[in-house]
Structures are given as C-alpha cells and as structure tokens.
Structure 1
Amino acid sequence: MFGTSGIRGPVGRTVTADLALRIGRAVGHDARLVVVGQDARLSGDVLADAVSVGVRECGADVVRLGVVSTPTVARAVGWTGADAGIGVTASHNPASDNGLKLWTPNGRAFDKEQTRDIVHRLNRNDISSAAWDELGRERAWHDGPARHVDHLVSSFESADSLDDVAVAFDLGNGTGRVSVDALYELGVTVNTLDGQQDGRFPARKSEPNGTTLSALRRTVPALDADIGLAHDGDADRLVAVDETGEYVSGDYLLALFARDAVTSGQSVAVPIDTSLLVQDVVENAGGRVTYTPVGDVHVAEAVERPGYIFGGEPSGAWIWPDETLAPDGHYAAMKLTELVARDGPLSEQIRSLGGDAYTTRRLSLSFDNKHKAMDRIARDVHAQYDNVDTIDGIRVDTDDGWFLVRASGTEPLVRITVEARDPVDADNLFEEIRSLAEGARVVA
C-alpha cells in the first residue's frame, strides 16, 4: 500500500475516497489532533474531506490547512501541536494521480514501522469509532503559508544582502508561492512563471527537470536573472537553472548544498543512486557520506541521528535536520539564493565542484509489472556479477564504475543509474545494463 513516499496512484483506481476515509480512521484511532492539507490537484477536496471524516469518526479533531505546499503541511504538525499530519498530494506525479503522505510532529514522514502499523490496523479492522457525542471536530487554519514565510524571512534576514539578486521562479501552477513571497520579503527581485494554482498543471508537467523547464531556461538569460528556480506540484522539491539557462543536475546541487553544510567530522546522508561526486566533495571537506535506500523518509531517518548536518536526494529533496526533517523546497530556495548572493554565479560554483570527472547516465523503463521485471533482472545480475548490494534495488560496483537498478516506489517504472569516471566506460556499462533490463520485458 505504502511506497517510498506514502501512497500514490491514479485517482479512482489506486487512490479513492474510500481509501482516504480508511487512512483517516487508522491515523485518527491513536490521535488527539490531526493536521490535513492538500496540494492543488482537482481531486484534493474530495480526498481531504474523506480523510477528515475518517479522523473525526474516531474522535480526533482536525485542523484543515486548505491548499498548501507539502513542506507547510509537515511543519504545521508541530506548529499546531498535532499528533500527526496527512498531506493529500501526489507530489511530482501527473495531474491524474493523487496520494496520501503521513507526517510526525517533528516533520519526518512516517517510517516503515509506522506505516506497517497503519496497514496492520486496516487489515485487522482494529479501529473503533467514537460515540455519537464524542466525534471529532474540524476547524480551518489558513495561517500556515504566512507562518512559513515569516519563518523563512527570520531565518535568512541576517544573511549576506540579497537585494542585488534576481530570480526567475517557475511554480508550475503548484503550491510553491511561499518561496516567492519569502524571497520578495528578503529584497530579492523575483519574476514568477505560472504562479496561478491549477491542479491540471497546464503550463508544464508537475515534475521539474531539464526537459519540462524549457520556458524557465529561456527566461533566465532573457531577463538577465542570476538564477532560475522551480518546484514540483507540492513544492517539496527544488531544482535550479544557472544564469546561462543551463539546467543543474540534482547530483551537482546535492554536492553544492553538502559542501556548504559539512565541516570536519560531520556526516551527510544520501541515497544509493547518488553520484560519487558527492562523496568526494564531502570527504574533501572532512565529512563522511552515509548511503540509504532511495526515499526522503530514509534520508530523514539517517539525519535524525547525532552528527548529521544535511541529507538530500538527486531528485530535488533537501533536508537540513536542524531546520526540519521534511524536504522543504522553500527553505532550499532560500539557501540556494543565499549561496549565489554570497559566492557568485551558480555556473562557477558548479564548475568548482569538479564534476567533469564523472559521467552519469540515467534511464527509466516502463513495465506493466515492475516487481516481476526486477526479479528477472536480479537473477541475471547475480549470474553475471559478484558483490551485489541489495539494500535498495540492485547495485554493483565494477572496475569501471557502478550501476543501480531499482523499481520506482511510486510509478510503474524500473530506474537505471550508471556512473563511471570515463565517458566511454559509462556508455559501455549503460548499454550493457539497459540491454539486460530490456530483456526482462519478455517476462514482465
């Protein structure tokens, strides 16, 4: 039921009002107060209503945030003194999808044990309804975005002057307005693309990447902006375009944020599909890298431990544990703007990382049955390679580099990542693994 980022899938098939009601009841069973928020998707009202009914049917009260970003939902659990939060969102998935993500009071997503408890409770039907006169109540609280803006402004107002920085910000019709408002309050010149909320995501796909951000890539140099920033539909992700209009890959941003955060003896957590660039950058700064399974909840679990200063994923999820254990795209937008104001053009900062020494290839393959495909791929990999790591998917270190094959936690995809220090080695390894994975189509 739960993937790496909660529950996601097509509305009316995987994600229904009945499912939302049941999840609400399972969370409300052990809660006193639950926060409920939603992104801008057209199905959000129906699903959020169902979640709220389920929570209240079990006697817990509900604070409705309305349409807000996922980072605001995560932070609002602590702000309101709630026991849990439920975000109705499918993040970067297509507009036809929706989902449910559960949050703890410290801003961390429910971990595997907590979601397992929810599933067991549902399977056993171990949920009690409240008496007719003890049903929970619902109240609206629309101050979440304003409080988020105020927090960001207070966190960065003592930073190097941001008055001379110009930002082009692509919100993609999502819920990322907090970032724009906070940057404006900090004195940044902000030009916004597609800032009107529209859950159909008519301007571009919800997932921001080098292909979908073509308008932003043209706009940044046209406006002579210093940087281009973009969120996904619920603003938990933050990606960037440099001042020339060049899209900056997630591995480079991860290395840049990690280098800024880490000092000698501190640790950074990253998923196993992360470039060796990040490890080299962190170790050169005196720090240490810990690898986790893919998924922001796994990174959050790692950085919650003492000694960790930062964690992130190349997908665009960034976590500063002293700030929050949720990936907060708004905070990341402030941080990256601060780095540009302090250290100069983003393109030069990226070049200083030395990333030319690495070549990374990535591909996503669609399968009707991704798990069956992974079983076949695993058999073939084990037959051909030694020292196979199965912490999350299938990872192998070779003489030329490394590769990872894993099933997406939210989509019917198998993802391939290949990296080597030499481009030719990377291409050869990539073609070898792609051919191996394609061979699984005959049985998947």
Structure 2
Amino acid sequence: MFGTSGVRGPVGETVTADLALDIGRALVTDGAATVVVGRDARESGEPLRRALSAGITECGGDVIDVGVQSTPTVARSVVDENADAGVVITASHNPAPDNGIKLWAADGRAFGEDANARITDIVERETFDLAAWDALGERSRVDGARERHERAIRESVAIPDDLSVVVDLGNGVGRVTADALHSAGCDVETLNGQRDGRFPGRPSEPTAEKCQTACIIVEATDADLGIVHDGDADRMMAIDDRGRFVSGDTLLALFARREAEDGDRVAVPVDTSLLVADALAEVGADVTYTPVGDAYVAAETANPDVVFGGEPSGAWIWPAQTRCPDGPLAACALAALVSTEGSLAAMVDDLPTYPIRRDSVQTDAKEAVVERVAAIAREGFDDVSTLDGIRVETETGWFLVRASGTEPLVRITAEARDEGDADELFETARELIDRAGDDHSG
C-alpha cells in the first residue's frame, strides 16, 4: 500500500475517501492519540481530509488541523504541537489527477517501512479499535503554522537582505519561502504564486525542462538566483545567476560541503554522483549511502555524526532543524550561501562535471533479474553493495542496477570521472543484466 513516499495515485482509484478513513482509524489503533493533519492545494484533498479526520476521531484520537500548508510546515507542526503523528494529504510533485497520504512520526520524520507496514496490516485486516459513543476524539483548528515555520527558518538561517531572488512556487503551497526572503529584505519576484492544485502555470515537478520560464526571467532580470518548488514545497531546486538550472547533484555537493566538517558524514541515496563524495573529501568528510527515498535519508540522519542529508531530486534535510525535507529552509540556506560565497554560477562552474550514463531495460521479472545480477557481480567485483539494487564501486567509478519501484523496468546508472570509463562501466552493467536475463529465462 505504501511506497517510499506514502500512498500515491489517481484520486477515485488508488486514493479514495474510504482509504483515508481507514488510515485515520489505523493510526489511532496503532497508538497515536493526537494527530496533526494538513493538505496541499489540490481540491481533492478536502474530502480526503474530512474522511481521514473522521477515522481518527472515530477511534478516539484528536485531530489538530493546520489547514492548507506545505509538507515541511505540517511535519514541523507535529513536533511543535507535541503530537503523536502527522498526516499530509499530498501527491507532492505528481500531476493534478493524483493525490496521496504521507505519514509523519512524532519527531517530524516520515514513517519508515516498519511503521507503514503496521498501518497496512491494520487496514487490510480491518482490526480497528473503534471508540465508544462517549469516547470519540475531537478536532481543533490551529492557525499560524506557516508563520511559525517562517519564524523558525529566520531564527536558524542568516538570510541576507540584499539579494534579488525569483521564486517559482509552481501554484503550490510554498509561500513561506517568498515570505521569509521578503521579510529579511530580499527583492523577491514570484512566479505561479496563485495557489491552484491544477498546476496551470507549469507541471508540479521542478525539472530543468519544466522550469524554463523561471530560467529566462532570472537571466533577464539579473537576479542573484532563482528558487523553484514542487506542489507541496518539500523539494527545492535552483537557478543560477546566468539563468541555468542547477542539477540536484551539484546542489547536493554545495550544501554538503557547506554543512560538513572533518569527520562528519552526509547521508545520500545510492544513485548520487561521485561529485558529492569528492566535494566532501576536500573537507575531510564522507558520504553514507541509503536506499533511494527521503525517508531512508532522514532515518540515517538520526546518527549523531550525520550532519546533513539530501537527494538529487531536491529533498534537503538539516536534522538539527527538522527531519523532513524542507524546501523553504533549503531556499533560504542557499540564499545565505550565495551571500557569503558570491555568484552561484561561479560556485557551479568551480565544481567538476562527471559523465553519467542512464538507461532502462524492460522486463516482467525485474526483481529476479536484479537478484541474479547481484550474484554475478559478487563473483567478479570486490566492492558490491545491495542496499538498494546493486551498486558496484571500482577504481574508476561506479554503476548501479535497480528495479524500478513503479514500472516493469530495471534501471542502469553508471558514472566515472572519464568518458571512456563511464562508457565501459555502463556496458559492464548492461552485460550483467543480459547474463542475468538469459539465466532467468533458462
């Protein structure tokens, strides 16, 4: 039922009011007495919110409703309200016909696999602990969550007062970014600032292809940088002062190098570029790899020597502030970095670029193929990790073979510091998949 980012899918098919009702019931049955609830700008979120809240109160739990808010605002509110759990009704960067339900623990991080499995089991077996007629829970509305989020960011980040920033909200709920930058004194130009869950301005996912208008405006207005969010503002991507969309791996390297010191570690998923490890090596720090998914990265940040976590997709976690990917916090931290270090374009150009190869192989036996690749790889390579798929490290680079979580595909990624080495590693990975496929079909 749950993927790496909660339940997501088409409204009325995968995601229904019945499901929301049962998840609300299951949360309280699992032990949550008080639950913070919020949603993004999708209109389908309102009936889901009502159903979820009904399930919580029906089992005797109390609902603290924070309204339409960004995902990091809701996650922070779980901690601020001393609640036992939180729920964000959002499909994040998915298209408008979708919605979703993501659960948050009392410490403000996403539910992990074990917690999601408990909720799934309760829902599937319908073992709900319904309350007596005189022991139903209550619902209360709490205002000011966004303002509280903004205040926390301004207290933790030295936001400059002299930058020009373009903020593309993507018709989502990330207004706290524009508010925090403007309150600090920045000159802020917003795009797609009208909250609209149909995402008429641009598709919700903040990719280079989908953010070309923001890139043009940053370059044309001589802004110092651009910020782009997805629909629920847990993701943040950036545009440099030359109007270039900055890759996620580059941002991760810049943030990691800023936050880490000698002996520290930074949590990143297994598909992260060598660029990040090399940048950290310059300051005596190191990476620690996790499966792909911000919940895994957040879990790793519980270790005291992990000072930062991030995913190239745009999720950035400062565990000293919050265990949730916080797009507005990342936006302000990047503005502070630009203020102290200078041009974002210059910082980007100062980092090396490594050739990377990506492709997919279609198969209806993706798990079996990946399992066989792992067995073959162990026979031929010394440094093999099966944390999430198979990642093989060599002297020249690495390659990764993973089963897609949503499609009948095996994905291949290979990276090296040299073009020829990248090609060779990619072909090695493809040959392993071909051998595994032949073995499986035989």
Question: Whole-Å Cα distance in 1 between the matches of residues 148 and 405 of structure 2?
Answer: 32
Letter matched to residue 304 of structure 2: P
SS of the aligned residue for 2:303 comes to coil
Residue in 2 that maps onto 1:84: 85
**CA shift digits 1:155-199 (9 cap, x unpaired):** 23xx37x22210111111111111001110011111011011111
| C-alpha distance 427-206 of structure 1, shift in aligned 2 (>3 A) | farther
Question: Whole-Å Cα distance in 2 between the matches of residues 107 and 58 of structure 1?
Answer: 23
Alignment of 1:297-316 (within 5 A): 297-316=295-314
Unaligned runs of 5+ in 2: none
Alignment of 1:294-443 (within 5 A): 294-352=292-350, 354-356=351-353, 358-363=354-359, 365=360, 372-379=365-372, 382-383=375-376, 386=381, 388-398=384-394, 400-409=396-405, 414-430=410-426, 433=429
Residue in 2 that maps onto 1:194: 192
Match of 1:205 among 167, 190, 203: 203
Letter matched to residue 42 of structure 1: E
TM-score under structure 1 length normalisation: 0.92
Residue in 2 that maps onto 1:123: 124
1:101 Cα deviation from its structure 2 partner: 0.8
Alignment of 1:215-226 (within 5 A): 215-226=213-224
Question: Whole-Å Cα distance in 2 between the matches of residues 374 and 400 of structure 1?
Answer: 27
Letter matched to residue 28 of structure 1: V
Residue in 1 that maps onto 2:105: 104
Match of 2:256 among 237, 244, 258: 258
**CA shift digits 1:243-294 (9 cap, x unpaired):** 1111111111111001111111212111111111111211220112211111
1:404 Cα deviation from its structure 2 partner: 1.5
1:399 Cα deviation from its structure 2 partner: 5.3
Moved more, 315-324 or 391-400: 391-400
Match of 1:174 among 172, 176, 179: 172
SS of the aligned residue for 1:175 comes to coil
1:59 Cα deviation from its structure 2 partner: 0.5
Question: Whole-Å Cα distance in 1 between the matches of residues 72 and 204 of structure 2?
Answer: 16
| C-alpha distance 361-228 of structure 1, shift in aligned 2 (>3 A) | farther
TM-score under structure 2 length normalisation: 0.92
Question: Whole-Å Cα distance in 2 between the matches of residues 412 and 21 of structure 1?
Answer: 31
Letter matched to residue 317 of structure 2: I
1:209 Cα deviation from its structure 2 partner: 1.1
Question: Whole-Å Cα distance in 2 between the matches of residues 415 and 168 of structure 1?
Answer: 35
**CA shift digits 1:35-87 (9 cap, x unpaired):** 11111123111111111111111001111122110001100111112110011
Residue in 2 that maps onto 1:52: 53
Pairs aligned (count): 436
CA RMSD of aligned residues (A): 2.4
Q: Percent identity?
A: 53
Contact 2:366 2:409 in 1 (8 A): no
Letter matched to residue 119 of structure 1: T
Alignment of 1:154-169 (within 5 A): 154-156=155-157, 159=158, 162-169=160-167
Contact 2:57 2:63 in 1 (8 A): yes
Question: Whole-Å Cα distance in 1 between the matches of residues 89 and 34 of structure 2?
Answer: 17
Letter matched to residue 239 of structure 2: V
**CA shift digits 1:10-44 (9 cap, x unpaired):** 22222111111111101122122111111112311
Q: Does 1:150 align with 2:180?
A: no
Question: Whole-Å Cα distance in 2 between the matches of residues 438 and 96 of structure 1?
Answer: 37
Contact 1:4 1:410 in 2 (8 A): no
Letter matched to residue 15 of structure 2: V
